[in-house]
Amino acid sequence: MNPKNDFFKFYDFIMLFLIFCLMITSIVSIYSASKSGQYQGGFVVRQSVFYFIGLTISIIVATIDIDRIKRANWIIYGICVLLLIVLMFAPESIAKPKNGAKAWFQLPIIGSLQPSEFMKISLILSISALVDQHYKIFPINNIKSDLLLLGKIALISLPPALIVLKQPDTGMTIIFLVIIFSIVLCSKIKASIVVCLLSIPALMVSTLLVIIIKFPIYFEERILSLLMPHQRSRITGWLDPFANSDAGFQTKQGLLAIGTGQFSGKGYLNGTVYIPEAHTDFIFANIGEDFGFIGGAVVITLFFLFLSRIINIALAALKNTNNLFGSMICVGTISVLAFQIFQNIGMTIGLLPVTGITLPFISYGGSSLLSNMILIGIVQSVRNSYSGYIFYNQAEGKYG
């Protein structure tokens, strides 16, 4: 027996099947969206290529021992931060701003490359490694050791977050914060500290909601004026898309598309509502128009099943091998995907402001798809760590 040949015995084929279902959904939806006449097309072919490359990389990453990934995580972190710094000073010939944000490299053959997408992988790995290493040094935690851990996490998280915020890419910055909070929440940090940390954003959000509802004029004159123009337009467009026809046009069209799709949709390729960025940010609106409530429910169900597989891997890693590093990776991955799903669908139906966050595995985009595929490969490596793959005994020809 050879571990390379026997690897597929341990690969999670249910997860692979769900990825295949999401791929079909993505290609079908992107093809429909590209028929609006807004773009020249070619998205289906490119997305198919991205899926092939992403799945190949994911399987390769899955064969790597999770301990090797852990040892390499600081090298990965350094490379990702360096790419963000280079992007800041890169000339427009290779880093042309899009929609006011300098967040992509434009490279020949490869196309657009968004370094922050890969930074989120590095952040998950580095914070997970910090948590794992910290509790090996401080097995019995107290307030002092917990605050020390939080300081370490802030030290490695703030530099990339501030760089991405400066691009500006508010959506990705929020994703970074989600990674930090989710891993901290699921670590062994004392509940009192976690409650204090969570109370800060909760208090800020609740206060802001009270101001918006009770003092709308004050909110518009004093708070919105502090934001950048594109951020202001997104907020005003979200609060009242029909009154702010320019700022809220995308939200209004998304609501119109989903609303007219009703229960079963208008039918594939029968969509009539013009939606800007229908193949990327607003792909769910296109699904809602073509396939209605039924189509949207199927997509959400696929995501639910997909995330449940990762949850099972996280719990099994902690139970079978006490692998805190692997479990924290799964926590970070779940939080990133769940937040992106919630945010994307939420902004499509007008529940949340438009942030430019794509729908994982379905929206068109090479960097986003590849980074998510790499994350799934790492999660699969975590699974292999307790499935016996890394414990193959070459001399005895068996696992154990």
How would residue 25 be classed by pLDDT, with cut points 50, 70 and 90? very high
Confidence of residue 150 (pLDDT cuts 50, 70, 90): very high
pLDDT value of position 180: 93
Residue 400: is its pLDDT beyond 50? no
Q: pLDDT at position 6, please?
A: 52
Give me the pLDDT at residue 98, please.
80
Q: In terms of Cα–Cα distance, which of 311, 300, 301 is closest to 348?
A: 300
| Across 125-134, 179-188, 230-239, 321-330, least confident range | 230-239
Say if residue 153 is exposed, middle or buried (CB neighbours under 10 Å; 0-12, 13-18, 19+). buried
Backbone φ and ψ of 392, nearest 5°: -70, 125
Please state, in angstroms and rounded to a whole number, the distance separating the CA atoms of residues 246 and 151. 43
Of 298 and 353, the structure prediction assigns the larger pLDDT to: 298
Q: What is the pLDDT of residue 387?
A: 64
pLDDT in tens, 307-347: 999 999 888 887 776 788 999 999 999 999 999 999 999 99
Our CA dihedral for 118, 229, 89, 57, rounded to 10 degrees, sits at: 10
Assign 3-class secondary structure to the chain.
CCHHHHHHHCCCHHHHHHHHHHHHHHHHHHHHHHHHCCCCCCHHHHHHHHHHHHHHHHHHHHCCCHHHHHHHHHHHHHHHHHHHHHHHHCCCCCCCCECCECCCEEECCCEEECHHHHHHHHHHHHHHHHHHHHHHHCCCCCHHHHHHHHHHHHHHHHHHHHHHHHCCCHHHHHHHHHHHHHHHHHCCCCHHHHHHHHHHHHHHHHHHHHHHHHCHHHHHHHHHHHCCHHHHHHHHHHHCCCCCCCCCHHHHHHHHHHHHHCCCCCCCCCCCCCCCCCCCCCHHHHHHHHHHHHHHHHHHHHHHHHHHHHHHHHHHHHHHHCCHHHHHHHHHHHHHHHHHHHHHHHHHCCCCCCCCCCCCCCCCCHHHHHHHHHHHHHHHHHHHHHHCHHHEECCCCEEC
Q: Taking 90 as the threshold, does the pLDDT of residue 283 lie above it?
A: yes
Q: Calculate mean pLDDT across residues 115-124.
A: 95
pLDDT band at 38 (very low <50, low <70, confident <90, very high): low
Is the pLDDT score of 160 beyond 60?
Answer: yes
Given a cut of 60, whether residue 388 has pLDDT beyond it is no
The string of pLDDT tens digits covering residues 220-244 is: 778 877 777 777 777 877 877 777 7
What's the CA gap between 272 and 58, in Å, rounded? 37
pLDDT at 32 over 70: yes
CA 316 to chain centre: 23
Taking the whole predicted model, whether its pTM rises above 0.85 is answered as yes
What pLDDT is recorded for position 81? Answer: 95
- For residue 41, the model assigns a pLDDT of 65
pLDDT digits (tens, 9 = 90+) for 51-69: 999 999 999 999 898 999 9
Q: Binning pLDDT at 50, 70 and 90, where does residue 398 land? A: very low
